[in-house]
Amino acid sequence: MRVLSHRHLISISLLIFLITSALVIYSHNHQSSIERPKPGSVSFGPTEELAQIRTPPRFESFKTLFADIAENVVPTVVQVIPTKIDTVIFSNNPFYQFFGDPFGLNEFFSQPKRPQRRPPVEKRQYKQQGLGSGVIVSKEGFILTNYHVVDGADEIEVKTSDNRSFQAQIIGVDSLSDVAVIKIKEKVDNLPVAYLGDSDKLRPGDWAVAIGNPYSLASSVTLGIVSALGRTASNDFNTYQNFIQTDAAINPGNSGGALVNVKGELVGINTMIYTQSGGYMGIGFAIPINMARRIMEDLIYEGKVNRGWLGISIQDIDPATREAFNLGTEVKGVLICDVFKGQPAEKAGLKRGDIITSVNNKEILNSNQLRNVIASLHPGEKASIEIIRQQKRIVINVRIRSNDHKSHHSSQKYEKPSPENKKEDISTKLGIKASNITSEIRNTLNVNPAVEGVIIIDINPDSQAAEEGIMPNDIILEINRKTISSTDDFKRCLGKVKPGDSVLFLLQRDNNTFYKAFKVR
């Protein structure tokens, strides 16, 4: 038997090592999409990083970094072309649409009626096309896009970057977050799938690449950074907003497209721009992929979005409120203005005036963040909520339920009573005129019978109360933490307030409860 030399053994060992390493790398780069631990056969894009840019690039490879990203991500971004169809009846006779007998002559002559020859009529369809973008998120043909891109569409065409065209159908939409899921109708092979990242790991200053179809220019790639996180674009409390702000150029047609990081991972769905001209001005917004994925999975598996619900009214803590509650500047959190009867918060023991500082060990900094954190929890889950109550920190466990409550908001404004009905009007201190809540007021403003307080019927426009944002039709529930049940309570509590004192109102407006604090001049 031939004995191998030491040199031969080293060569063979090195060869075995190289072959093994190559097999491991090949296997890892070609592993299939991760299956979700939910019923159904849908498998979403893998969450691991792209193989060719797995590790942070060295300086010498930076010149090809963004070209590598574009090469791998562009195929996963599609054009979404929604079409609205209107049918119009058309006739060559201009009177046909208005009269069967154009001049009504048969009404005046008794001659026998002869069969009339009707002018030719035809139905014409008018199609109005839009343009947006979408991201392929599964090999089965599911595509993530914006609600506003496909809203009202009768037909949806999807075009891929390799010039293939497919018809798609809407699987589900969520107008509150502007997320929609569509799916290619036919069975299709060789679909590239986006790599889903973790948007919670983003930081302001991170590189960001936006890919979409602005102004019908397919597969456009723009570069920028993450400008800010947790942005809101409006004061609509019925929507869920937690936008990534970026200065990567986003224009009309980019909606529904991809925002990716330097690893090629999908971290956001581009959704809107801030503009005064209709075009790019350096401020774009994207829905974080963690939020979009949660909604997408609910739409696919459940057919609707099941958001968590606590049953509280909340507000941010401004300096005046902080002083009124004797809170240090280091305290961060959100103030509970009201706790709805029979809802999870009340059952768990949360109270009006509690300050929520964290949920499941996640620090809470503002009310929008709290709404999104609670909404991201599934009904039935338990949440560990840390609060401050009377300067003491307490942890309360709450079982979250679904947000199936109905809003009783009324846009009808209550008109000031006529002079004969203002006998109980009292106290113009602070520019406020208030009245007890009558049955007429309750019916007009849809005020819950359980609500006790006084209603503001007039505000002096030059007063401090008006400057602080207090408005007619606001209901005063408390003053300086004292319950207000009548105008007598209102007068008694305000009678104790002197110039220079801090005053804390608990108000209800359009069935939303909030605190208002300020120093009396």
- Band (pLDDT 50/70/90 cuts) for residue 92 is low
Q: Which band of pLDDT confidence, cut at 50, 70 and 90, is reported for residue 269?
A: very high
DSSP alpha helix (H) spans, 405-521: 439-445, 464-467, 487-495
Q: Contact, 186 vs 167, CB < 8 A?
A: yes
Residue-wise pLDDT tens digits, 320-333: 888 888 888 888 99
Residue 459 — pLDDT band, cuts 50, 70, 90? confident
Catalytic site residues? 148, 178, 255
Task: Please report, rounded to a whole number, the percentage of residues in the chain having pLDDT higher than 70.
Answer: 75
308-402 and 419-519 have identical folds: yes
Mean pLDDT to the nearest integer, 159-185:
93
Report the pLDDT value the prediction gives residue 239, as an integer from 0 to 100: 78
pLDDT given for residue 40 in this prediction: 44
Is 0.75 surpassed by the pTM of this model? no
Of 3-12, 202-211, 257-266, least confident by mean pLDDT is 3-12
CATH class of the domain at 308-402? mainly beta
Over residues 283-304, mean pLDDT: 92
CA 13 – CA 84 distance, rounded (Å): 66
* Cβ atoms within 10 Å of 64's Cβ, excluding its own: 13
- For 419-519, CATH gives 2.30.42.10
pLDDT band at 96 (very low <50, low <70, confident <90, very high): very low
Q: What pLDDT digit, counting tens, does each position of 33-67 carry?
A: 334 444 444 556 555 444 344 444 444 477 888 99
Tell me if residue 287 falls in helix, strand or coil.
strand
The mean pLDDT of the chain is 79
Residue 171's pLDDT is 93
Rounded CA-CA distance 401/398 in Å is 9
Measured distance CA(231)–CA(245) in Å, rounded: 7
The Cα 62–Cα 10 span in angstroms is 36
Q: Give 117-152 as a DSSP string.
A: -PPPEEEEEEEEE--EEEEE-BTT-EEEE-HHHHTT
Which tokens in the block code for residue 273? 């721009």
Instruction: Using the predicted structure, report yes or no on whether residue 286 has a pLDDT greater than 90.
Output: yes
Q: Please give the average per-residue pLDDT across 266-287, as a whole number.
A: 86
Q: Which residue has the higher pLDDT, 219 or 101?
A: 219
Tens-digit pLDDT profile for residues 392-440: 999 999 999 987 643 333 333 333 344 444 433 334 668 888 888 887 7
**474-516 per-position pLDDT tens digit:** 999 999 888 998 888 888 888 888 888 888 999 998 888 899 9
**If you average pLDDT over residues 5-16, what whole number do you get?**
57
**Whether residue 444 has pLDDT greater than 70:** yes
Range from 12-26, 92-106, 230-244, 258-272 carrying the lowest mean pLDDT? 92-106
**CA 307 to each of CA 148, 301, 378: distance values in angstroms, whole numbers, following the listed order:** 20, 14, 6
CB-based contacts of 455: which residues, under 8 Å, 6+ apart?
Answer: 414, 434, 435, 436, 437, 441, 445, 473, 474, 475, 476
Longest dimension (CA), the chain: 126
The number of angstroms, rounded, from the C-alpha of 426 to the middle of its chain's C-alpha atoms is: 43
Q: Exposure pattern of 255-287 as b/e (b: 16+ CB <10 Å)? A: bbbbbbbbbbbbbbbbbbbeeeeeebeebbbbb
Least confident span in 129-143, 433-447, 451-465: 433-447
Look at 138-152, 259-273, 279-293, 410-424 and tell me which has the smallest mean pLDDT: 410-424
Amino acid 274 reads Y
pLDDT of residue 39: 43
Nearest to 294 by CA among 210, 208, 374, 192: 374
Residue 386: name the closest of 356, 349, 354 by CA.
356
- Nearest by Cα to 354 from 318, 319, 320, 395: 395
Quick check: helix, strand or coil at residue 167?
A: strand
The hierarchical CATH code for the domain 72-81+130-301 is: 2.40.10.120
Residue 241 pLDDT: 87
Which tokens go with 160?
């891929």
Assigned token pair, 105: 């002559």
Distance CA 292, CA 286 (A): 10
Q: How many CB atoms lie within 10 A of CB 42?
A: 21
Is the pLDDT assigned to residue 301 strictly greater than 70?
yes
Domain ranges of the chain: 72-81+130-301, 308-402, 419-519
Q: How confident is the model at residue 236 (pLDDT cuts 50, 70, 90)?
A: low
Q: What is the mean pLDDT of residues 181-195?
A: 91
pLDDT of res. 329: 85
